[in-house]
């Protein structure tokens, strides 16, 4: 059972990090409109949300595996309080901070329509910090950090995020992805049916 929980913790952490990287890259692709210049199909935005939600699920698997494993003790304090762990204290603290950032991004995204846009954008913007913190946690606490595949995947993800972030910063300002849905078209152009007639 001990080995199973340790493998679950490792696999959950790696998959959560990969999903977080994909969600970050996908969000940047949508916001920079690198994919296409015309309105984004709604399912592409849903995919971004799904990747973020799935990252949260696998983070829970990662944390659950750590709590179940008996090699290193991880109780509520070690999981929830930065610097409380006696094992790789700084590295685990990055993970705790990442957990709180991930929860903040996901929870505010779920209630996005009830929040002021400025508040939501500020919290969602912390996704960049989350990506950095999660990467530092995996590189310093993860036992698979020395694996060549893990390292190359990390480098590729960082390059993609940095490149797309630069594209977003240097591109002309716009209000975010335009999503092509019938409701959006009606709101954006309420007199379109009259004009067509």
Would you say residue 164 has pLDDT above 80? yes
- 25-69 pLDDT, tens digit per residue, is 999 988 887 766 555 667 778 899 999 999 999 999 999 999 998
pTM: 0.81
- The pLDDT value given to residue 98: 96
Q: How far apart are CA 165 and CA 25, in angstroms?
A: 9
HSE-up (13 A, CA, CB side) for residue 131: 26
Could you tell me if 14 and 149 are in contact, meaning their C-beta atoms sit under 8 angstroms apart? no
- As to burial, measured by CB atoms within 10 angstroms (0-12 exposed, 13-18 middle, 19+ buried), residue 79 is middle
Q: Which of 11-15, 128-132, 186-190 shows the lowest per-residue confidence on average (mean pLDDT)?
A: 186-190
Residue 75: the pLDDT is 93
Give the number of domains in the chain: 1
Structure tokens at 51: 């990747």
> Judging by beta carbons within 10 Å of its beta carbon (0-12, 13-18, 19+), is residue 64 exposed, middle or buried?
middle
* Domain ranges, residue 54: 2-196
Ordered DSSP codes for 95-135: HHHHHHHHHHHHHHHHTGGGS-HHHHHHHHHTHHHHHHHHH
Burial of 152 (0-12, 13-18, 19+ CB in 10 A): exposed
């Amino acid at each position: 059972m001990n080995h199973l929980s340790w493998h679950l913790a490792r696999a959950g952490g790696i998959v959560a990090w990969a999903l977080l990287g994909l969600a970050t890259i996908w969000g940047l692709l949508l916001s920079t409109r690198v994919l296409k210049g015309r309105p984004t199909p709604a399912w592409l935005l849903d995919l971004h949300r799904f990747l973020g939600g799935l990252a949260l699920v696998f983070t829970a698997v990662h944390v659950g595996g750590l709590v179940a494993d008996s090699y290193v003790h991880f109780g509520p304090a070690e999981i929830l309080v930065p610097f409380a762990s006696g094992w790789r204290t700084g590295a685990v603290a990055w993970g705790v901070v990442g957990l709180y950032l991930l929860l903040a991004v996901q929870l505010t995204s779920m209630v996005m329509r009830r929040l002021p846009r400025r508040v939501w954008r500020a919290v969602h913007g912390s996704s960049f910090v989350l990506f950095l913190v999660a990467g530092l946690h995996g590189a310093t606490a993860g036992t698979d950090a020395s694996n060549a595949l893990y390292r190359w995947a990390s480098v590729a993800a960082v390059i993609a995020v940095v490149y797309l972030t630069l594209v977003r910063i240097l591109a002309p300002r716009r209000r975010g992805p335009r999503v092509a849905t019938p409701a959006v078209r009606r709101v954006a152009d309420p007199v379109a049916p009259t004009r067509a007639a």
